[in-house]
Structure 1
Amino acid sequence: MDVKDVVAVVSGGASGLGEGTARALASAGAKVAILDMGLDKAKAVADEIGGIALQCDVSDAVSAEQAMADVEAQLGPCGIAVNCAGIAPAKRIVGREGPQALEDFNKVIQVNLVGTFNIMRLAAAQMQKRDPNADGERGVIVSTASVAAFEGQIGQAAYAASKGGVVALTLPAAREFAKSGIRVNAIAPGLFGTPMLLGMPQEVQDSLASTLPFPSRFGKPEEYAKLVLHMVDNAIMNGEVVRLDSALRMQPK
């Protein structure tokens, strides 16, 4: 799909991987809408790239429905949707204080998995309204999984489960939307230089980076964004989950 003049929605687009993706899509000519809980930061990024910003809780049906309706009203129906909104708290299933609170596990599932599905369902409904291109294509959805979906570490049970769900969601969604000319892919990043990682002490950052075979550094948001743009451009890339991890294989802890 040619990105130019296509409406692109990026959840979690105010920072990290989402911000890098929003900037790359805008540079390629897309009409970008940033959906994020942090409206001030989202507006700052949107103003820089010539897009729009909307406050959105991806785990809430009404919030997402309103945000996506506003996107369509202001820019037109969504043609590209990139799911980057997510949280990654670490907690053991049974810790020193006893079993993990069920609501803690549920919150991660709601934001990372349900939130991905929420934006996917709403974006796909809008994509079906678009005129197809020469290939019959109407839209592209890219979700963010994680290497934790395959090698979740101790303390990552909720996060790994949520990202494993994103992986499992990708193929059935691609199969269902095929008749409408909508492709669905996912990226499973390893260690990237997002605010969460860069906020850790330098010695922790150095220790984590040393586990990466090559290159032994954190990935950059713009490198994630490059793969998003390739997935949008490559018309036969569908139903795929691609690791982007410097050959990292996570150890138990």
Structure 2
Amino acid sequence: MDISGASVLVTGAASGLGAATAAALAARGAHVVGLDLRAAVERAAASGERREGIELVAGDVTSEADVRRAVEAASAAGPLRVAVSCAGIATGARLLGRSGPHDQGAFERTIAVNLLGTFQVLRLAAEAMAAAEPLDADGQRGVVVQTASVAAFDGQIGQVAYSASKGAVAAMTLPAARELARHGVRVVTIAPGVVDTPMMAGLGDEVRAGLEATVPFPARLARPDEFARLVGMVVEHDYLNGETIRMDGALRMPPR
């Protein structure tokens, strides 16, 4: 799929994986609408960094109205062809901790952002893509790229909420791809390992070094631009569909 001149939606686009993905797709000639929380959008604007081809809009992925508004903003510049869900939160808590059982509100919030937010983008972006004209003789209209995590498969102690949310994202991939096939919309999920994002930066050098040591090769954290490059490959490779791709340096997370 050639996205030059096409419209793209990226969530979580103000920082980390989303920012790198938005920049990479804009560099390919796409008009990118990036959805992120208002505070994140304001921080990005205050940084003064130039984001050519990227229009950041404030909103919450758990809100149908906000996601629909972002889809409409992207579609206003041309048919929506690509949607990438990068918005997410990480929750760490034990099922039975010193203060008692896992907080239900924290679990629900993790599911809401990581799973419901991804589902909102999937269904509303697919609706817009299905209404567009096909791009080629195969009838392809667009592609939705979702973000899971290796925690979907190798969840560590304290990751029950996070693993549940990301495992569900991976589980949605095949049935969504099968259902949207008749509309010419592909669905692919990427499951990153440990990535050098702002969230990771707050863990400290010692923790980062320990994480790097667990990766077989290359023994380092992944870079956001490597995730963005994989998104680009998924977009361009028309035969990739219904699959969850691990991007983890052969990492298999230990229990803790």
Counterpart of 1:26 in structure 2 is 26
SS of structure 2 residue aligned to 1:185: strand
Q: CA deviation at 1:121?
A: 0.7
Unpaired segments ≥5 residues, structure 2 = none
Residue range with higher mean Cα deviation, 193-202 or 156-165: 193-202
**What one-letter code is carried by the residue in structure 2 that aligns with 1:107?**
R
Unpaired segments ≥5 residues, structure 1 = none
Aligned counterparts of 2:105 and 2:72: Cα–Cα separation in 1 = 30
Aligned counterparts of 2:67 and 2:42: Cα–Cα separation in 1 = 18
Residue identity over aligned pairs, in percent, reads 48
Q: CA deviation at 1:131?
A: 1.2
- 8 Å CA contact 1:33–1:46 kept in 2: the answer is no
- 8 Å CA contact 1:14–1:45 kept in 2: the answer is no
Among 174, 193, 197, the alignment partner of 2:196 is 193
Aligned counterparts of 1:240 and 1:63: Cα–Cα separation in 2 = 28
Aligned ranges 1:169-184 → 2 under 5 Å: 169-184=172-187
Residue by residue over 1:215-252, the C-alpha shift from the partner in whole angstroms, topping out at 9 and shown as x without a partner, is 01100111111110111011110001000000000000
Counterpart of 2:167 in structure 1 is 164
Q: Would the alpha carbon gap of residues 221 and 137 (structure 1) be closer, same or farther in structure 2, given more than 3 Å must change?
A: same
Counterpart of 2:125 in structure 1 is 123
After TM superposition, which residue ranges in structure 1, 4 or more long, deviate above 4 angstroms?
Answer: 42-47
Among 197, 207, 213, the alignment partner of 2:210 is 207
SS of structure 2 residue aligned to 1:158: helix
Task: Count residues with an aligned counterpart.
Answer: 252
**What one-letter code is carried by the residue in structure 2 that aligns with 1:213?**
P
Please report the TM-score for the alignment, with normalisation by the length of structure 2: 0.95
Counterpart of 1:4 in structure 2 is 4
Q: Would the alpha carbon gap of residues 114 and 241 (structure 1) be closer, same or farther in structure 2, given more than 3 Å must change?
A: same
SS of structure 2 residue aligned to 1:172: helix
Please report the TM-score for the alignment, with normalisation by the length of structure 1: 0.96
Q: CA deviation at 1:69?
A: 2.3
Q: Would the alpha carbon gap of residues 12 and 32 (structure 1) be closer, same or farther in structure 2, given more than 3 Å must change?
A: same
- 8 Å CA contact 1:143–1:187 kept in 2: the answer is yes
Residue by residue over 1:140-169, the C-alpha shift from the partner in whole angstroms, topping out at 9 and shown as x without a partner, is 000000000001000000000000000000
